[in-house]
Structure 1
Amino acid sequence: MKKKVLYFMPDNPMSGKAGNTTRLNYMLSYFNENRDLDVTFVSLRDWGMWKKEEETLFYEKFPNIQLHLLDKKYKKSFIKYLFLYKIPYLFKKNSIDTTSYILRKEFSDIIKKSTFDFAIISYATWGRLINELSDSTYTIIDTHDFITAQSRHKCTIGKLFQDEISILKQYDNIWTYSVEEEYIFDQFTNKKVTLMPVSFPENLSEKKTEFKYDILYVASDNPHNIKGIQWFLKEVLPLLNNVKVHIIGKIGKAIAEDYPNVIKYGIVDDLQEFYNHARVAICPMLSGTGVKIKVLEALSYGLPVVTNRRGVDGLINKKNNGCLVSQNPVEFSKAIHQLMNDHVFYENVKMQGICYFKENHNPKIEKEILDSIFYKIYEEKNFN
């Protein structure tokens, strides 16, 4: 008998190449290929800005997964929007909760139609959806991020932390991708915490003989990336001589000024082409939490990465991992120049990155963890 899995993620897997959608597509691919699992994927139509054609694309890419699109705000009726969303939201008790009565009601309707063996809810901010689930369901909170650290400027830290932990403690299993967050969640929840090794397929090509792109930066336009690239363009770029920076993704829209040695591409169809022919990747990151997907993606292609301290958050190894780390603009630029001009140094950093990636972010490792959850726990709980 197939094990029934409910997977909630508000984002749209068909839109963009941001870290959250990259991760989402990996999970959906795992579920789609696993014929022993009957998976229902629930996303938010308004939050994910789903288009009709994207629903068709979803079924073409993941034919073995059922798709449900729900609404958080329900703006079709102003009265419902006002009384079932806007007013209750002003009086919510949990400071990180972003669920709404409308969403919980629609989510509950799905639950009533089937009995699920497992339920995975993404982000602690949507964690209250657990209240709609059966007690027999094995519940997993896929945290993605430490919300308290992300929102610390908006509210009292004590209140944020208490509210986040209170949500996490309701779940049977807490997933995290960061060793720092694993420690915090383990210390304060007394629940099972699983460190998920964000994985990518090895994208190592044959020895590169030609570099079309000196410096590559791939990013979405979230506030942390905007802050980081602004710092890079203002403080580091003037120190770089005879190099070109190639910027890919929505982050390009946040760069108003044009620079003679900066090329903006927007979203590209073939990101692999850039990674395969780039010399160095950068990740200017002055704020933010958790593992940076773009750092791991670059390492999967054997690219050395120059980044700030926040760029290696969550990584198991902070040194000898393929990343050169500096908060100082001069040192940041010197690291880039050394990688560009010192072949022996470049190869050494590159090999450190490849070894770190293979040991810690191999897809085989993550598949074994996922399989153990959906098979071993199923047997232990005797879901029948």
Structure 2
Amino acid sequence: MPDNPMSGKAGNTTRLNYMLSYFNENKALDVTFVSLRDWGMWKKEEEILFHEKFPNIQLHLLDKKYKKSFFKYLFLYKIPYLFKINSIDTTSYILRKEFSEIIKKSAFDVVLISYATWGRLVNEVSAGTCKIIDTHDFITAQSRHKRTVGKLFQDEISILKQYDNIWTYSVEEEYIFDQFTNKKVTLMPVSFPENFIEKKQEFKYDIIYVASDNPHNINGIQWFLKEVLPLLNNVKIHIIGKIGKAIAEDYPNVVKYGMVDDLQEFYSHARVAICPMMSGTGVKIKVLEALSYGLPVVTNRRGVDGLINKKNNGCLVSQDPVEFSESIHQLMNDDVFYEKVKKQAICYFKENHNSKIEKEILDSIFL
């Protein structure tokens, strides 16, 4: 996976840390984590922290852009990249070659790749190795250019067909991949530890929003601040994560924290979570993270993408700013309604996203 698990608390790194913890706890497995030094902006102290947190996992960092030799960089990376055949492919000849050498040297039984955009890394991997791709998102669905959708879809499916097992977190994507790849597709129930607080709480935070600064989150929070915030009375919104940097204007009832060390402090003492999401694909990890605390979530349609149940799941969904604000007000002021939605969140999470379900699937694959 190209991402750095030691950097930030975005949904992708939250998921990555869960997987690394699973592998680290299963000492019978010989696991090497391969990532990209220049992509994940790895610092030396983060490498040390990785070894401290995951002592049973080897760390191997490659460089996406090979710059040790100018001519190799030019002829084996830069020029081929300009004439690449697959439109979603972000790998290079050098990167594929170096990755295949790692696999051959240790004779790994299983290769697990994250993201279809990096899927061609297995081009040089022998046929005897089991190949699994963790898709995270449906890349084609992220395109807003209708003219290119056909090409993107064809290229994405051609990459997925190289794999023995395709992982997805979304019921919608499970259907698409199953129909067009003729490969085994596994619906992974993204899980978190259960952090439910059953007793009556004292709420320190009215509303929390936890997010990174990706374009979909920026678009969502801009919509919320412009369309919904003016309709909210006597509530304070607490914004956590890199998304705060994308909010240039100051608002009297908005508090920006930036990156924090302890997200649990906010989830455990908040009354409501929001996830304004007007675009994007796949399951929203931060929605599930909030539900793992039994926290009601107010979101848009894109916020419940991938969830097995679209209703009675702890999420109140609306595209309309007035309805969005009314859902927040009702959760803030109606204790009976609040407890009803909270119980729906807890019930949905227990049935579909508890750690035991996912562990059983992972054990069946790797043990």
Residue number in structure 2 paired with 1:162: 154
Given candidates 197, 202, 210, the residue that maps to 2:194 is 202
Please say if 1:82 is aligned against 2:79.
Answer: no
Please say if 1:242 is aligned against 2:231.
Answer: no
Residue number in structure 2 paired with 1:321: 313
Given candidates 298, 305, 310, the residue that maps to 2:302 is 310
Q: What is the distance in 1 between the residues matched to 2:334 and 2:129?
A: 56
Q: Deviations over 1:43-75 (max 9, x none)?
A: 000110000110000000000000000011123
TM-score (norm 2): 0.98
Residue number in structure 1 paired with 2:96: 104
Let me know the Cα RMSD of the aligned residues: 1.1
Q: For residue 83 of structure 1, what is the amino acid of its counterpart?
A: F
SS for the counterpart of 1:37 is coil
Please say if 1:278 is aligned against 2:270.
Answer: yes
Q: For residue 214 of structure 1, what is the amino acid of its counterpart?
A: D
Q: What is the distance in 1 between the residues matched to 2:283 and 2:143?
A: 17
Q: CA deviation at 1:109?
A: 2.1
Q: CA deviation at 1:36?
A: 1.9
Please say if 1:137 is aligned against 2:138.
Answer: no
Q: CA deviation at 1:131?
A: 1.1
The answer (yes or no) to whether the contact 1:123–1:143 under 8 Å persists in 2 is yes
Please say if 1:191 is aligned against 2:183.
Answer: yes
Q: Deviations over 1:183-227 (max 9, x none)?
A: 000000111000000000001135243111000000000000000
Q: What is the distance in 1 between the residues matched to 2:132 and 2:103?
A: 16
Q: What is the distance in 2 between the residues matched to 1:262 and 1:208?
A: 26
The answer (yes or no) to whether the contact 1:152–1:160 under 8 Å persists in 2 is no
Q: How many residues align?
A: 367
Between 108-117 and 23-32, report the one with greater CA deviation: 108-117
Residue number in structure 2 paired with 1:20: 12
Give % identity: 90
Q: CA deviation at 1:118?
A: 0.7
The answer (yes or no) to whether the contact 2:100–2:122 under 8 Å persists in 1 is no
Gaps of 5+ in 1: 1-8, 376-384
SS for the counterpart of 1:303 is coil
Please say if 1:337 is aligned against 2:329.
Answer: yes
TM-score (norm 1): 0.94
SS for the counterpart of 1:136 is coil
The answer (yes or no) to whether the contact 2:291–2:346 under 8 Å persists in 1 is yes
Gaps of 5+ in 2: none
Q: What is the distance in 2 between the residues matched to 1:247 and 1:152?
A: 28
Q: For residue 275 of structure 2, what is the amino acid of its counterpart?
A: C
Runs (4+) off by over 6 Å: none
Q: What is the distance in 2 between the residues matched to 1:93 and 1:203?
A: 47
Q: What is the distance in 2 between the residues matched to 1:228 and 1:339?
A: 21
The answer (yes or no) to whether the contact 2:201–2:269 under 8 Å persists in 1 is no
Q: Judging changes above 3 Å, is the alpha-carbon distance between structure 1 residues 17 and 350 closer, same or farther for their aligned structure 2 residues?
A: same
Given candidates 76, 80, 86, the residue that maps to 1:94 is 86
Q: What is the distance in 2 between the residues matched to 1:167 and 1:271?
A: 36
Q: What is the distance in 2 between the residues matched to 1:208 and 1:314?
A: 31
Q: For residue 296 of structure 2, what is the amino acid of its counterpart?
A: P
Q: What is the distance in 1 between the residues matched to 2:321 and 2:146?
A: 29
Given candidates 105, 115, 136, the residue that maps to 2:107 is 115
Residue number in structure 1 paired with 2:143: 151
